[in-house]
Amino acid sequence: MATTNILSLIGWSFLPNLVTGWVQTIYYGLAIRAGDRKPAPGTPRHAAHRRRIHILVVSLYLLYTIYEADYELRRASDYYADLGVPHAASERDIKSRFRRLAALHHPDKTMGGGADADSADFFIHLKTASDTLVDPARRFAYERFGPDISSWKHCVTIRDYVGRGVQVVLPYYGFAAAAMYVLGLLGYLDWGRYWRWLTLAVLCVFELHVATRPAFPALLADVVNPLLVRFTAHPPYLPFQAVSLARRLSVTLYVAFSQIGPLLQQQQPPERPGETDEKALLQSLDRLEQTARGMDVDAARLMELEMAPFVGDPEAIDSMRSKLKEWLVQNTIRSDPMVKDALGRSFQKRRVDAPAGARGNR
């Protein structure tokens, strides 16, 4: 399994780029007529074609790796398929089926042929499968952790097998988390980092749920397996097979999405020269409006504080308002440079020899 994962990662590192170049060359040879110019490398058209072809190649390679992982699971088979019994078979059915197979594949029955060693190995395998599925504790452990439980020592009860299984599961996810963290520090697997960590956490919780629950997961028992049995010839999954497939797919999806994700991100269109200035002006106006509102609030508060001693005295308040208006006119409006300039131009238009009280400038 480790060798397969390493080979898969090596394949992901160079195969998509290599195949993308080949496919793009073949595409230009078929789609562009002789004599027409092909898009030169580095041009926007060439980059757009390469981007689309790369997404297609990575998607097809992703589907292939999914099929390959499922094919390896089916080729490895399981104890139920080897004995020819369903997952819900009773202890009596398993024993009866093993007796029939033992009558056909017992070494004493197949002596004299050239495949005595293979027959003996297959009989031993059938005996191991029968003994495992007949024992309730070992059957529970096999369905959740796979055939590796045959090498677990000092495990007798379901609690023993679950404890040993959790000890195997947690270090796997701890190592996976450490590897993801180190790759992130090195600059790999940057795209979709949040979803990658979320997927790892969900997968860990799912596997712990599978390992500790007495029944098959509802998603597997009520959705996936019924659909496989009804619409395909694919055998139903056992929990350990579903977990193994999910592990393989998670590694594959990490690498595939790291390559597809950046390509799917829409590039921001280049901004026109005037758009930047317009945005800056709008932002400045917004800040100015917020500042003016804040100053209005502060002025209202100060006015309330100044008028606090005159609350309840209408005459004093009216007198204060009239004086404030006069002060505003004298010190604010008339002192404004624009007002002064307008008054000056108005005085210049008046006739110099006009008598006092005359109106107009003619």
Average pLDDT over residues 297-318: 75
pLDDT at 142: 94
pLDDT at 85: 92
pLDDT at 25: 87
Match 């190649």 to its residue by tokens: 57
Looking at the chain, the whole-number percentage of residues with pLDDT higher than 90 is 21
Q: Are 102 and 122 in contact (CB under 8 A)?
A: no
Match 């395909």 to its residue by tokens: 232
pLDDT at 288 over 90: no
For 138-157, what is each residue's pLDDT tens digit? 999 999 999 999 888 889 99
pLDDT at 134 over 90: yes
Average pLDDT over residues 304-314: 73
pLDDT at 358 over 60: no
pLDDT at 158: 92
DSSP letter string, 151-193: G--S--SHHHHHHHHHHHHHHHHHHHHHHHHHHHHTT-S-TTH
| From 41-50, 146-155, 261-270, 326-335, the region with the lowest mean pLDDT | 261-270
For 18-67, what is each residue's pLDDT tens digit? 888 888 888 888 888 777 788 888 888 888 888 888 888 888 888 888 88
Judged by DSSP in three states, 233 sits in: coil
- Which of 331 and 194 is assigned the larger pLDDT? 194
With a threshold of 0.75, does the pTM exceed it? Answer: no
pLDDT at 2 over 50: no
Judged by DSSP in three states, 111 sits in: coil
Q: What is the overall mean pLDDT for the chain?
A: 80
The C-alpha atoms of residue 118 and residue 62 are separated, in whole angstroms, by 36
For 156-173, what is each residue's pLDDT tens digit? 999 999 999 999 888 988
pLDDT at 352 over 60: no
